[in-house]
Structure 1
């Protein structure tokens, strides 16, 4: 909560409540196994703000149940960085939920969202800031012109964005990164969305306003990434099922085609029996059709189950995160 400022007036006049001032910039990041990066990350943030000559700022760090000593380190750093705000979540809720918590606690007129693992340098804030003021847009988002990493990371990342845009009505630029600079009206509009199944990349594109991309260089993270292949697959499923019903439509169309093909094949077998005296083609054909039908049916039930699970999560209306403490 922002403090209420009272203006001191003569005794015969009632006090007037002044609008609380906002920092010029809020830098928002999340903490999960982040201790090796934090010293350089904070130094980079402070250097970027110094280059921009911004003295009125805050750095909002959200502890997403990190199992290392990241929380202890940033709490200790508040002694020499007074503008450091630490939001401590009650447990690990996931990257996108922690970012949402950071955006909700950020008070700045501009909000810079960035990962603290130094794959993108905090100094890029200068480029984002220049682009935003040069174009007058509401958000500048970062993207990679060429994906970093080995062949598997490049191919899987490319397939993720192509698959999402193929299956979803919401279009997202390929190879976008976490880093983006947003003005206050964009952040406020984004936080109005009531999604409980979070995919912030899609939510930000869906929100609209004037958005412009900025190519950024992304280096290889030191140490293993916390985004495993299993987490990436889950993110793909969550992203598509949260923003499109197109897979259900495709499944219906595919089921119709299989039904038509099966019916046509049955008629073909009956005609051969009646007009040519051929015995009905037997066990192998029947078992093949049964296996195919069972596979399609199982896939269909699973797909419908994913969407029903999303509906169940949404109607539960539980908070997407719970804050244990805020150190401001």
Structure 2
């Protein structure tokens, strides 16, 4: 899918856009020590005249990521560092960054520079045209493995068929959002957060800009197959009830088939005077229905488990500190 294929919502009446907006870059960091040194210089080289706020979220890193971020904060007043109390995951870390961002526009992006800073200038052009959301669309995924490309394509198609909220294909978290969009997203309180779905759910006028995703500048990916599988499962369960409905239809079909087959067995017995022996077929039927029941219970369990998490009403994340100019400016610090 190209940027031209993305659904474009009609532009609202023209609103004044600032000529020199404050751009908040929200950067979740988990063990990104090797990439941090190159990040700010790359952004400054791409946007030399822009007013920028760097919102780094340390998501429970076990290396020296936090040490480097605090050093950046002491030396650069544009840098804000949120230190989460543990590893909450990228979606929650991104949420924390959106909560802290104060810019007129906000751009979530990765620290490894696979989201090219040069693209932000094009985002701003589309924003000034009147669009509230500008997606980065991956036009070339040849650097991804064949299996990853195929599974990503299957996921987008499967998700968009099941969910009432459509997400654009080949679009990650890298995008520019107007302040009005960010304020809307931060009002959504759910604990199981699939940010691509939440960004799409709030709506607003949107468009896309194509780009080729480069290699990581440093470090290694933290998303293996199992994490990606759980991530996809969270997205589908969070935005669609179709997996629950399927078992209603399947149960109805099985029940109808059972009635028809039961009638056939009764008729055959009445006509021929004996039932049909069939231990093997009986075992196959029992095992098949048992498997169906276990699968359906598992899917119901996925939804019930999310209800269980939501009813606890725990906070989305806990911060050990929020640092500006190297000083902790969080409420906890002021209370002390």
Same fold (TM over 0.5): yes
What is the deviation of 1:291?
A: 0.6
Which of 194, 212, 216 is the matching residue for 1:199? 194
Indicate yes or no: 2:137 matched with 1:139. Answer: no
Within-5 A mapping of 1:139-178: 139-147=133-141, 148-178=143-173
Indicate yes or no: 2:333 matched with 1:310. Answer: no
Which of 91, 95, 120 is the matching residue for 1:96? 91
* 1:236-267 deviation digits (Å, cap 9, x = unpaired): 11111111111101111111111211221121
Distance (whole Å) between structure 1 residues aligned to residue 316 and residue 288 of structure 2: 40
Distance (whole Å) between structure 1 residues aligned to residue 277 and residue 136 of structure 2: 60
Distance (whole Å) between structure 2 residues aligned to residue 293 and residue 176 of structure 1: 39
| TM-score, normalised via structure 1 length | 0.89
SS of the residue 1:216 aligns to: strand
Which of 217, 225, 236 is the matching residue for 2:221? 225
* 1:201-246 deviation digits (Å, cap 9, x = unpaired): 0001000111112112112335532111111111111111111111
What is the deviation of 1:167?
A: 2.0
The question of whether the paired residues in 2 share the 8 Å contact of 1:85 and 1:327 is answered with yes
Indicate yes or no: 2:269 matched with 1:296. Answer: no
Which of 181, 184, 194 is the matching residue for 1:189? 184
The structure showing larger relative contact order (alpha-carbon pairs under 8 Å, at least 6 residues apart) is 2
Unaligned 5+ runs, structure 2: 1-19, 325-336
Distance (whole Å) between structure 1 residues aligned to residue 27 and residue 160 of structure 2: 27
The question of whether the paired residues in 2 share the 8 Å contact of 1:87 and 1:326 is answered with yes
The question of whether the paired residues in 2 share the 8 Å contact of 1:110 and 1:182 is answered with yes
Distance (whole Å) between structure 2 residues aligned to residue 188 and residue 42 of structure 1: 26
SS of the residue 2:47 aligns to: helix
The question of whether the paired residues in 1 share the 8 Å contact of 2:140 and 2:211 is answered with no
Within-5 A mapping of 1:30-69: 30-50=28-48, 53-54=49-50, 56-69=51-64
* 1:137-193 deviation digits (Å, cap 9, x = unpaired): 111111212324110111111112112112211111111112111111110011111
Distance (whole Å) between structure 2 residues aligned to residue 142 and residue 251 of structure 1: 37
Backbone CA RMSD of aligned residues: 1.6
Distance (whole Å) between structure 1 residues aligned to residue 258 and residue 92 of structure 2: 46
Distance (whole Å) between structure 2 residues aligned to residue 146 and residue 24 of structure 1: 30
| TM-score, normalised via structure 2 length | 0.87
* Corresponding pairs, count: 303
What is the deviation of 1:278?
A: 4.9
Distance (whole Å) between structure 2 residues aligned to residue 122 and residue 192 of structure 1: 28
The question of whether the paired residues in 2 share the 8 Å contact of 1:120 and 1:216 is answered with no
Residue 106 of structure 1 is matched in structure 2 by: 101
